[in-house]
Amino acid sequence: MTEGKEQTEIKEEEMTEKTQETKNISEGTNTNTENIEEEKKETIKEETVQNISEEFTTLVSKLKLKAESIFPEEFEKDNDQNYHIDAIYSLTNCRALNYKLDAMDWMTVKIKAGRIIPALATTTASIAGLQTAEFVKIIKNIKLEDMKNAFLNIAVPILTQSEPGPMPQIEIHKDLKVTLWDRWDILDAFKNKLTLKKMFEIVREKYNVWVKDIFKGAMPVYSSAIGDKQILESPLCEVLQLEEKAHVDLTIACTLQENGVDIIQNIPNLRVFY
């Protein structure tokens, strides 16, 4: 009896082990399937964005607009031949894709557009109009004194406008001034086979400052105090884990002299393009 009981227990243990192995294989397969699906989704998103960008560029290149050819268009959601809903549908889903929101189907967009018109016809339309007017000024590169800040209160009603002031400039040294909106760009890091050392030289030649430390977000990339010579000669794309057709923003600490210790304040962020 004891021997038979032991054999039964051994068989049960073997079955349990086989069941666990089957479960592990199944979980591993599920994980791989999920990873493949995620990669497919990311690929589809990238291709969609690229297609939209290429189509937009093609359409813009064909436009030959003159001032006299621009005229207001009265919105009509029930006329499908005017492409009003099509335009809203496209732009809505571009925004959804950009901000990782749920996409909307064409009919839902049409229904919501019909309901939101009363709101758009008041303050929203006024603000959009004022913004568009200023945007056109930026495109035409007009003088700063021709720009306007606007304060609007339709309930009163009142509209007041004022001229914006120039951006405050911060002096880094006598030959270099920056603003809070500035950004320094390093282009074609992969094509030019840039290393970290070469990037330092580009910054020094262009802006006459010496890079001491680099941070990618909160993560330190290079510190002059440690002085890792190996990382200086490493490919920039490899050091920054920079992927194709991408960019990365860096925070850099600089000094005015090669052996300086006083870190300069208000240095713009550095953006490295693949």
Please write the tens of the pLDDT for every residue from 127-164: 888 999 998 888 888 888 889 999 988 878 888 999 88
Kindly state the average pLDDT of the residues 120-129: 80
CB count, 10 Å around CB of 88? 19
- The residue behind tokens 């839902």 is 108
With a cut of 80, say whether residue 196 has pLDDT above it: yes
Choosing from 106, 128, 162, the residue where a domain stops is 162
Q: Which domain holds residue 116?
A: 73-162
Q: In terms of domains, do 190 and 258 share one?
A: yes
**Does residue 15 lie within any of the structural domains?**
no
Q: What angle do CA 130, 131, 133 make, to 5 degrees?
A: 65
Q: In terms of domains, do 228 and 144 share one?
A: no
**Does residue 41 lie within any of the structural domains?**
no
Q: In terms of domains, do 187 and 99 share one?
A: no
Considering only CA atoms, which of 271, 229, 237, 270 is closest in space to residue 252? 270
Q: Which pLDDT score, from 0 to 100, does residue 33 have?
A: 63
CATH code of the domain in which 254 resides = 3.10.290.60
Q: In terms of domains, do 155 and 178 share one?
A: no
Residue 177's pLDDT band (boundaries 50, 70, 90)?
very high
What is the SS3 assignment for 122-165?
HHHHHHHHHHHHHHHHHHCCCCHHHCCEEEEECCCCEEEEECCC
Choosing from 127, 162, 197, the residue where a domain stops is 162
With a cut of 60, say whether residue 111 has pLDDT above it: yes
**Does residue 167 lie within any of the structural domains?**
no
With a cut of 60, say whether residue 216 has pLDDT above it: yes
Q: Which pLDDT score, from 0 to 100, does residue 225 have?
A: 82
**Does residue 86 lie within any of the structural domains?**
yes
**Does residue 4 lie within any of the structural domains?**
no
CA-to-CA dists, residue 14 to 2, 6, 9, 17, 18, angstroms: 19, 12, 9, 5, 6
**Alpha-carbon span 140 to 147, nearest angstrom:** 11
Give the helix/strand (H/E) hosting 50.
Answer: helix 2-62
Give the helix/strand (H/E) hosting 118.
Answer: helix 106-119
Choosing from 118, 133, 162, the residue where a domain stops is 162
Q: In terms of domains, do 201 and 263 share one?
A: yes
Q: Which pLDDT score, from 0 to 100, does residue 12 have?
A: 57
